[in-house]
Amino acid sequence: MINLYIDFDGVIMNTIEVGYGMIKESGREVNSDTCDEFFTSLDWKDFLNKKCSQINDPINSIQKLIDSNLFNISILSHVNSLDEAIEKIKYIRKYFKDITFIPVPKKISKTKMVHTKGAILIDDYAGNLREWESAEGIGVRFSEKLNGKGFYAINKLDQVIDYVKENLKVLNKLQS
């Protein structure tokens, strides 16, 4: 089985888009300082359950990934606070009891939290994917407009099944 890591923000839910919109509505500029402050002090329960929405049917897509028996699936998500991690875990647990959720402190690279060699990361942020591939992983970019920015692109999570089936021999070599 292939280790598959799925990002949360911008892949499962539109938290980045909604959060940036809320920052702009408050009259502040979207930059690293305002984002850190905003996302750290946010009521994540309310934010996830009332303000944000899922992107392109991720729950059914993840179930298809599970049913394919091709992957060991984990959610690998940057977090700004313990509250954010708790609420994201609760959100995922509403749908899946057995998927591992790995919260990654925002200032740490996702590559430092798991074994990347031969593992796939689905992420919307190309910077994370570049780091992942530098650590011998396989980056797949989630983009609603299928803009890969140099990476294989998908706009629905279960599309990674076709990618894996087409590249299974190469992927199996990378994992050994």
Residue 173 amino acid letter: K
Structural domains in the chain (count): 2
Residue 138, beta-bridge partner list: 120
Does 24 lie in the same domain as 100?
A: no
Cα(125)–Cα(7) distance, integer angstroms: 9
Find the domain containing 170 and state its range: 2-13+54-175
Residue 158 amino acid letter: D
Does 98 lie in the same domain as 25?
A: no
Annotate 92-110 with DSSP letters as a single string: HHTT-SS-EEEEEETTS-G
Does 163 lie in the same domain as 152?
A: yes
Verdict on whether the full-model pTM lies above 0.85: yes
Does 122 lie in the same domain as 45?
A: no
Cα(88)–Cα(8) distance, integer angstroms: 8
Does 119 lie in the same domain as 96?
A: yes
> Which one, of 110, 107, 144, 152, lies nearest residue 13 by Cα?
144
Q: What is the pLDDT along the chain (176 residues), one digit of tens a residue?
A: 899 999 999 999 999 999 999 999 999 999 989 999 999 999 999 999 999 999 999 999 999 999 999 999 999 999 999 999 999 999 999 999 999 999 999 999 999 999 999 999 999 999 999 999 999 999 999 999 988 889 999 999 999 999 988 876 666 666 55
Does 99 lie in the same domain as 84?
A: yes
Does 21 lie in the same domain as 8?
A: no
